[in-house]
Amino acid sequence: MDALGVDNDDDMGRLTLSAARTGDPDQDQEMTLFVLRERPGHTMAARQPGATAKTLGTVLLCLGGWLGTTPPAMAQDGQPQRLPTTTLGAGMFNIKVEVAQSPQEHAIGLMWRTTMPTNEGMIFIFPRAGQQCFWMKNTLLPLSVAFIDDKGTIVNLDEMQPQTENPHCSTRPVRFVLEMNKGWFTKHGFKAGDKLTGAPFGTPK
């Protein structure tokens, strides 16, 4: 899957945000927010005066929208990435997940996959907690997404349709996002408040 990001100037259709401070320490929270839609050969920009730093923080990072990053050519060529894996514990189930940690890996996610085994998925690990928002541009599989806190507790779940651009966001700041085949969490009885285990959360699976 693909996602929204901050200050990403690539041409893959990301929503990007940048902000300019007023320069006055007393007005440090007042910022000008620019929302940019970038597509090959075309850029649209909308200006929103008076947006606050808090506003910018809540939109924060979504897959790979970090300053100065350019996704590898394989994403543009329509080839899925393959990443190192780890195993998570989800009740009586073991989940084999690919681990996306870098901005480039975040940006590509599960793009271009046409199949994914039942108990496999991808976990996105961010360096700090923020409101993570994902979309499904260039993602061919329907997916379920779990936003997870540092202790492995599911904060909220959502369902995502292939090749759509509406955002799916965490309801509070998180560092972990887990994508599985659509319906996986519901089928196995998982809901907000349930816990996952494994190395990313510092607990045995």
Residue ranges of domains in the chain, CATH in brackets = 2-67 (no CATH), 76-201 (2.60.120.1140)
pLDDT > 60? residue 93:
yes
Convert the pLDDT of each residue in 111-153 to its tens digit: 999 999 999 999 999 999 999 999 999 999 999 999 999 999 9
pLDDT > 90? residue 183:
yes
Give residue 2's pLDDT: 55
Convert the pLDDT of each residue in 15-47 to its tens digit: 333 333 334 333 333 332 333 333 333 223 332
Phi-psi region of 190 (alpha: psi -120 to 50; beta: other; left: phi over 0): beta
Comparing C-alpha atoms, which of 131, 180, 127, 137 is closest to residue 158?
180
Phi-psi region of 74 (alpha: psi -120 to 50; beta: other; left: phi over 0): alpha
Q: How far apart are CA 173 and CA 123, in angstroms?
A: 16
Convert the pLDDT of each residue in 147-170 to its tens digit: 999 999 999 999 999 999 999 999
